[in-house]
Structures are given as structure tokens and as C-alpha cells.
Amino acid sequence: MPSELRVDKVSSTTSPYDPVFSTTGGALSHRNMIDNGAMAIAQRWTTNADRHGDDYIVDRWKTEMTNEDQLRVTIGQSGTAPNDQGFVNSLYVSVDSGDAESAIAADEYVKIVTYLEGLDCQRLRYGTSNAQTTTLSFWVRAKLAGTYAVSLYQTDGNQSIGGTYTINAADTWEKKSLTFAGNTVNTIADDNTKGIQVQFTLMAGSNYTATSNTSWGANNSHAAGKMAHGHTAAWGTSDTHDFYITGVQWELGSVATPFEHRSHAEYLAKCQRYCELLVEGDDQGLGIALEYNNGSSLFVQVWFRTAKRSDQYSITAMGSGNYLRARRTNNIGATADGTFHNRSTGGMLMYVQSASDVGIDGGAAWIETNAPSAKIFVDDDF
């Protein structure tokens, strides 16, 4: 005999979401505060070798390294990922052959970080009695098993909190989660500056492991003693060491819900607020330029697909030799590097110093790239 069960409401005692997350298998959109947590977008490069110091890896993620001696690493986007969990990309850091650190000094560290704008942190309600508990979850794989540290650093108030997780088996994807109390003391400015820094430590000297960080407290800086308390893995001391991470999700509540997969287009648009690849490769057009000063100068307005975080972005242009050219009637009228000015969050004016005989004031020319290695992107990340 058929039967029916009807309820008025289903709720959870451990998650702030209603209905219970497990009935949706990852709905409840935009609960993940991390951009590009699936490591799907890599506009700058997909691999970059012989790196040390601070350097961006995939979009919104960077390595920060200090006082390293021999250590050099390759960073980038990898196809090594927990495919059975719906991931096809990961971020990776691997020690270059022959470039391992001989010993970890007290003042050395290596970490992977991402920053969140204050504008995107207001749901945390930090600085109030109702500061929200949050949970950070991720998939990780490394050659070196052991205990690794994770921490949150809040710029406003100079506060931090952290915890550790254990990689149990080498070369094996494992899911980890950590839960953090909310900061009831310090508010996060509602602006486009750094709100929260999420950082995964790979290597840490004793200067960065000395102080307990299980509750929010003054940190002196994001790289002081609270950064990696409890971290013991001696990552970076062998050129076999690597580290892969993907599926990073930071959300409200004390439960790690299923990873929130979004469309590639949405990932890209989010990342373009901070970095936008304008052109790459040969014969790629930037737009129509008008001539000024009797044809000796060319100006082209470049509009961005996504408005930038501020108008203080940098412009990175790569390419061998002169990587831009101006065309008219199928002839090369000018070949020169470009400079950029009159910036706004929505676009910029590009200036090209032209060659002779390209026309008169007000004449038009088409500006395009002039080398297979040409690549121009604007960068307004932290």
C-alpha cells in the first residue's frame, strides 16, 4: 500500500543552512568565499620554474617564501587532481631538482596564500558578538606525509587564528577540514583592501611555530609566531617534495559541505576583477587607434571585460622584441612597445610610439600583437 511522509521543515543543528545541505549535494549557491578554489583559472601561466620569493601561481593564489637559501620551486596548474570528486585541476608546488633547502632555518618559510577583499567578508560579522564560526575544507596531496599548518590572518586588528592537519599517506589525495571561531573583537573594513588572508604553510622555521594560535590574538604580522603553530613537516628539504591542493572551500558554519562547483565563466569573471589577460599570441587585436601629433603617436582605448578592484593595477607585457604593431591597408605602419596611462577601473588608454609615415592627426590604425610570445595582462591582485 502506498505511503507518504510529509514534513513542514527540515533543518540542521550543525549547519547554518536550511534546508540541510546533504539533501542538495552542493546547492545553496555562493556559500564558498574562496575564488578559484578548484584551481580552474590560470591566466598568467600554467607552469613557472626556478621560482623563489613571492609569485602568483593560478589566479588568486600565490606562493610567499622568505629567507630561503638553496630552495627553488616550480609552481603552476596541474592536471593531477581527485577526478572522482569532480576536480580536473590543482595548484602545485614542487622542489626543483638539485635545489632543495639543506636545512630549515628559524627565519624561513614557504606558504600558499589567497586574499579576500573586505567587501566580501562582511557575512563573517567579525567585530560583533555574533561573529560567525567558519569551516575551511580542501583536498591535498604531497610526497611528504606529516603535520602541516593552516591559518587565517585578519589585516584589520592584526589578528590571526590557526590549526593543523595531517597528511597520512604520501602521494594520496585526502580531504581535510578545519573549523575556526569567529573574531568578536575586530571588524573588517567594508572596502577593497585586504580583509582575510588564508594561508597554507609548506615549510616553517621555529620563528613561525612558537606561539599557540587556537584562538584569535595579536600576531604582530601575518608571518609571526602564530602563523604555523604545530607545523612539523620538513617540506622543501628534498627535491622529491611536491604539494598539490584543490577543492578549497571556506564557508559559514561548523560543517564542511560538499564543494560548490560553479561554471567556468563565473570563475573567470571573478578572477578578472584581479587579473585579466587582454591578448596572447601573434596577430591578436587590441583595437583601433587614432593618430596624434602628425602621425608620430597612436592611442587606443582598451576596455576591460570586468571592472578591476581599483585603478592602481599594474600592466605586464611580455614578448620578444617589439611585440605590438600598427596596420593600415594591410601594411605595417608602426612597430613599437606600448605604454599605458589614463587608467580607470573599466579600462585604460594605451600609447604606441609609432614609426614614420603612418598618417596625419586623426588617422586610424589597427593595433595588434607582433610576436607569438606576446602576452599582455593587467594585474590588480594583492
What tens-digit pLDDT sequence spans the chain (382 residues)? 566 665 555 555 555 554 444 433 444 789 999 999 999 999 998 999 999 989 999 999 999 999 999 999 999 999 999 999 999 999 999 999 999 999 999 999 999 999 999 999 999 999 999 999 999 999 999 999 999 999 999 999 999 999 999 999 999 999 999 999 999 999 999 999 999 999 999 999 999 999 999 999 988 777 788 999 999 999 999 999 999 999 999 999 999 999 999 999 999 999 999 999 999 999 899 888 887 766 667 788 899 999 999 999 988 877 766 677 777 755 544 444 556 677 899 999 887 765 555 566 777 888 888 888 888 899 999 9
Q: Identify the CA nearest to 287 among candidates 273, 301, 275.
A: 301
Nine cell digits for residue 117: 577583499
Question: Exposed/middle/buried for 10, CB within 10 Å: 0-12, 13-18, 19+?
Answer: exposed
Separation CA 87–CA 322 (nearest Å)? 39
pLDDT at 352: 72
Residue 142 near residue 242, CB atoms below 8 Å: yes
Question: Exposed/middle/buried for 30, CB within 10 Å: 0-12, 13-18, 19+?
Answer: exposed
- Say how many C-beta atoms besides its own lie within 10 A of residue 299's C-beta: 15
Helix, strand, or coil (residue 267): helix
Separation CA 379–CA 308 (nearest Å)? 9
pLDDT at 323: 75
Nine cell digits for residue 165: 592537519
Helical H segments across 243-318, by residue range = 264-272
Residue 34 near residue 256, CB atoms below 8 Å: no
pLDDT at 329: 58
- Say how many C-beta atoms besides its own lie within 10 A of residue 115's C-beta: 20
Separation CA 153–CA 134 (nearest Å)? 14
Residue 308 near residue 345, CB atoms below 8 Å: yes
Residues 6+ apart with CB under 8 A from 298: 289, 290, 291, 292, 326, 334, 351, 352, 353, 354, 358, 365, 367
DSSP 269: H
Separation CA 178–CA 63 (nearest Å)? 21
Go through the chain and tell me how many residues it has: 382
- The pTM of the full predicted model, rounded to 2 decimals, is 0.89
Nine cell digits for residue 149: 599548518
What is the residue whose three cell numbers read 604593431?
A: 325
Separation CA 328–CA 364 (nearest Å)? 8
